[in-house]
């Protein structure tokens, strides 16, 4: 599991640890980890260097805080290993004194012209701001950040990409996009929530000894293969198709029969014992999936299910939404079902069984009575607000998918396994089917949503592995491979 803690929590844990250690220890641990990561990058030939630390050209962008200190100390270590290191001081009179002295002592120097230095750099260390940064890059840092990004150098963010908000994941102005972020002690929420997450590149955690001090419940977390493997249901000797769970799907319409087919395709790969389709697309569903049970009447007459999915491609025939929400089983509401809910939130009022809402940013905006742009700019705040306001577990789709429970103390789950190839019509229908199927298998709404988002992203990566566009149907088809991947690596 990847975990992220808030800035306050990190500062408290660091203070406690620092009180027990000689001064400067933590910063040296951070700088040592950072140096190792940079050396590895340089040796791998990333950037434009010759695959060595010795002789490579490193530029340190140092702000006025401890983030700059980390970067300067790492610069000093790289200089001692033979790199040519130049510091660009964003606030020359307030640069970290110890870090700057160490850099000079190691043979590093301060740049006369930042743009000249960046022009020939192999690697840029971004130490402008870390957890203390607010309000985006200041105007004087903007041209330097742009020149760094525009250069041939590989950009390594120190703790966080400068310009992002550590706790909210918001990016209020410009920020410096990194190829690699070397984060200290624990991840910060902004590394797991969009839009900030998209600035981080690959994230590498350096242990500075906070492990036993940080609270065990993080603010955010992200499943990895092993976690997903442990969540996935597995039939045993006593299983039959009903005990494995039956998932009911109310989706599709004469106008959008494909949504029904895709939701069923996702559900068939989610481990439920049977998939019961209800709606106007029975012919299309049965033509593709003879194993589906189909019913053309209202959901209440379709037979028992352990979970419902309602909404994909329903169009304007939305009476079934209220009917399904009245059922005492877990319900996943997607697409047109969410439109119905935005118009009548009271439909959720009397529900005791779990509810999982799966909006994309546009649907989330309608549910929150705001704009898509506002949701996209503050995804973490939006998913939390949806979950508390509607009293329902909410999965907010996007490049980063977030899943929040109504109880604000429960860590928000982040899924970064997606790929932009998933931005294709119908992929959300596959996700809904998969997550609903996992609900029928007995997973909580939060586990079902986050495990589904993970498998869905992994399947899309597999299907698009050779760089060709994938269709939503192919994503569904690759779910079996994704399932196998997590089982094999995660062991079960
Ligand atoms: N606290 C600790 O024990 C440790 C902290 N470490 C490092 O220290 C960092 C935190 O250091 P600080 O608390 O000094 O904070 P930062 O270095 O993140 O930034 C604070 C400084 O940046 C300025 N600033 C804020 N927003 C800005 C903006 N938008 N543009 C330009 N300047 C801006 C502030 O005026 C302040 O001087 C961490 O991110 C991490 O890199 C590590 O050395 C590990 C140990
Ligand atoms: N840029 C992106 N990177 C990763 N995943 C994405 C991106 N854009 C969209 N997705 C994913 O693709 C799916 C799209 O779902 P949705 O918006 O409901 O589409 P549709 O309604 O066509 O089915 C979601 O799982 C979402 O998280
Ligand atoms: K930084």
For residue range 343-390, what is the model confidence (pLDDT) as tens digits? Answer: 999 999 999 999 999 999 999 999 999 999 999 999 999 999 999 999
Q: Is the pLDDT of residue 101 over 70?
A: yes
Taking CA atoms only, the protein residue closest to ligand 2 atom 9 is 423
| Contact call for residues 48 and 122 (beta carbons, < 8 A) | yes
Considering every ligand atom shown, identify the ligand nearest to the alpha carbon of residue 456 and give its number: 2
The mean pLDDT value for 481-490 works out to: 90
pLDDT at 10: 97
**pTM of this structure:** 0.95
Residue 133 counted as an annotated binding residue:
yes
For residue range 8-33, what is the model confidence (pLDDT) as tens digits? Answer: 999 999 999 999 999 999 999 999 99
Q: Is the pLDDT of residue 491 over 60?
A: no
d(CA 170, CA 190): 7
Q: Is the pLDDT of residue 445 over 50?
A: yes
Distance 199 CA to ligand 1 centre (A): 18
Q: Is the pLDDT of residue 465 over 90?
A: no
CATH code at 2-222: 3.40.50.10260
Q: What percentage of residues in the chain have a pLDDT greater than 70? A: 98
Q: Is the pLDDT of residue 149 over 90?
A: yes
Mean pLDDT of the chain: 95
Give yes or no for a cis peptide into 195 (omega within 30° of 0).
yes
The mean pLDDT value for 331-339 works out to: 97
pLDDT tier at 243, thresholds 50, 70, 90: confident
pLDDT at 492: 45
Paired tokens of 481: 């491979």
pLDDT at 47: 56
Burial code (b: 16+ CB inside 10 Å, e: under 16) for 363-386 equals bbbbbbeeeeeebbbbbbbbbbbb
pLDDT at 226: 96
Which H, E and C letters describe the chain, residue by residue? CEEECCHHHHHHHHHHHHCCCCCCHHHHHHHHHHHHHHHHHHHCCCCCCCCCCCCCEEEEEECCCHHHHHHHHHHHHHHHCCCEEEEEECCHHHCCHHHHHHHHHCCCEECCCHHHHHHCCCEEEEECCCCCCCCCCCCCCHHHHHHHHHCCCEEEEECCCCCCCCCCCCCCCCCCCCCEEEEECCECHHHCCCCHHHHCCEEEEECCCCCCCCCCCCCEEECCHHHHHHHCCCCCCCCCCCCCCEEEEECCCCCCHHHHHHHHHHHHCCCCCEEEEECCCHHHHHHHCCCCEEECCCHHHCCCCCEEEECCCCCCCCHHHHHHHCCCCCEEECHHHHHHHHHCHHHHCCCCCCEEECCCHHHHHHHHCCCHHHHHHCHHHHHHHHHHHHCCEEEECCCCEEEECCCCCCCEEEECCCCHHHCCCCHHHHHHHHHHHHHHCCCCHHHHHHHHHHHHHHHHHHHCCCCCCCCHHHHHHHHHHHHHHHHHHHCC
Q: Is 334 close to ligand 1, i.e. is its CB under 6 Å away?
A: no
Paired tokens of 149: 């990004």
Ligand 2 pocket residues where CB is under 6 Å: 360, 397-399, 401, 418-420, 422-423, 425-429, 431, 456
Q: What percentage of residues in the chain have a pLDDT greater than 90? A: 89
Residue 74 counted as an annotated binding residue:
no
pLDDT tier at 468, thresholds 50, 70, 90: confident
Q: Where are the domains of the chain?
A: 2-222, 225-490
pLDDT tier at 77, thresholds 50, 70, 90: very high
Q: Is the pLDDT of residue 296 over 70?
A: yes
| Distance between first and last Cα of the chain | 16
Helix axes 257-268, 427-440, angle to 10 degrees: 40
Distance 403 CA to ligand 2 centre (A): 14
The mean pLDDT value for 276-294 works out to: 96
Half-sphere exposure (Cβ direction) of 415: Cα atoms closer than 13 Å: 29
pLDDT at 50: 66
Q: Indicate the pairing of strand 220-222 with strand 2-4.
A: antiparallel
Question: What class does CATH assign to 225-490?
Answer: alpha beta
Q: Is 73 close to ligand 1, i.e. is its CB under 6 Å away?
A: no
The mean pLDDT value for 54-69 works out to: 97
The mean pLDDT value for 144-150 works out to: 98
Position with higher pLDDT, 92 vs 261: 261
The closest-lying atom of ligand 2 relative to the alpha carbon of residue 259 is: 23
């Amino acid at each position: 599991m990847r975990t992220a803690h808030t800035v306050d929590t990190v500062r408290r844990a660091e203070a406690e640890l620092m009180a027990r250690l000689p001064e400067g220890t933590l910063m040296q641990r951070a700088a040592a980890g950072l140096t190792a990561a940079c050396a590895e990058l340089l040796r791998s030939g990333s950037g434009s260097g010759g695959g060595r630390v010795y002789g490579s050209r490193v530029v340190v962008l140092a702000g006025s805080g401890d983030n700059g200190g980390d970067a300067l100390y790492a610069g000093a270590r790289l200089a001692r290993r033979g790199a040519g290191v130049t510091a660009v001081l964003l606030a020359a009179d307030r640069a970290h004194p110890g870090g700057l002295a160490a850099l000079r002592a190691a043979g590093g120097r301060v740049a006369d012209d930042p743009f000249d230095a960046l022009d020939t750099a192999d690697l840029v260390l971004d130490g402008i701001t870390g957890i203390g940064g607010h309000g985006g890059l200041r105007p004087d840092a903007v041209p330097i950040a742009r020149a760094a990004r525009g250069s041939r150098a590989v950009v390594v963010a120190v703790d966080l990409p400068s310009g992002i908000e550590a706790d909210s994941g918001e990016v209020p102005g410009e920020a410096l996009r990194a190829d690699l972020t070397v984060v200290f002690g624990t991840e910060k929420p902004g590394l797991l929530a969009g839009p900030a997450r998209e600035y981080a590149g690959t994230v590498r955690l350096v242990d500075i000894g906070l492990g036993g001090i940080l609270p065990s419940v993080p603010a955010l977390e992200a499943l990895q293969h092993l976690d997903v493997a442990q969540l996935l249901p597995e039939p045993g000797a006593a299983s039959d198709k009903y005990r494995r769970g039956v998932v009911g799907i109310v989706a599709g319409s004469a106008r959008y029969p494909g949504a029904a087919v895709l939701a069923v395709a996702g559900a068939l790969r989610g481990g439920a014992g049977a998939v019961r389709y209800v709606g106007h697309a029975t012919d299309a569903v049965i033509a593709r999936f003879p194993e589906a049970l189909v019913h053309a009447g209202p959901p209440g007459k379709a037979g028992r299910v352990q979970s419902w999915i309602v909404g994909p491609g329903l169009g304007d025939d939305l009476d079934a939404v209220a009917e399904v929400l009245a059922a005492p089983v877990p319900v996943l509401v997607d697409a047109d079902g969410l439109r119905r809910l935005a118009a009548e939130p009271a439909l959720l009022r009397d529900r005791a069984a779990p509810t999982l809402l799966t909006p994309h940013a546009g649907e989330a905006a309608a549910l929150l009575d705001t704009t898509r742009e506002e949701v996209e700019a503050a995804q973490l705040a939006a998913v939390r607000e949806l979950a508390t306001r509607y009293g329902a577990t909410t999965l907010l789709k996007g490049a980063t998918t977030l899943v929040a429970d109504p109880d604000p103390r429960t860590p928000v789950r982040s899924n970064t396994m997606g790929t932009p190839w998933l931005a294709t019509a119908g992929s959300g229908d596959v996700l809904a089917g998969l997550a609903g199927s996992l609900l029928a298998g007995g997973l909580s709404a939060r586990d079902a949503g986050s495990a589904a988002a993970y498998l869905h992203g992994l399947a899309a990566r597999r299907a698009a592995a050779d760089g060709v566009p994938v269709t939503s149907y192919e994503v569904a088809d690759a779910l079996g491979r994704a399932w196998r991947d997590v089982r094999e690596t995660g062991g079960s």
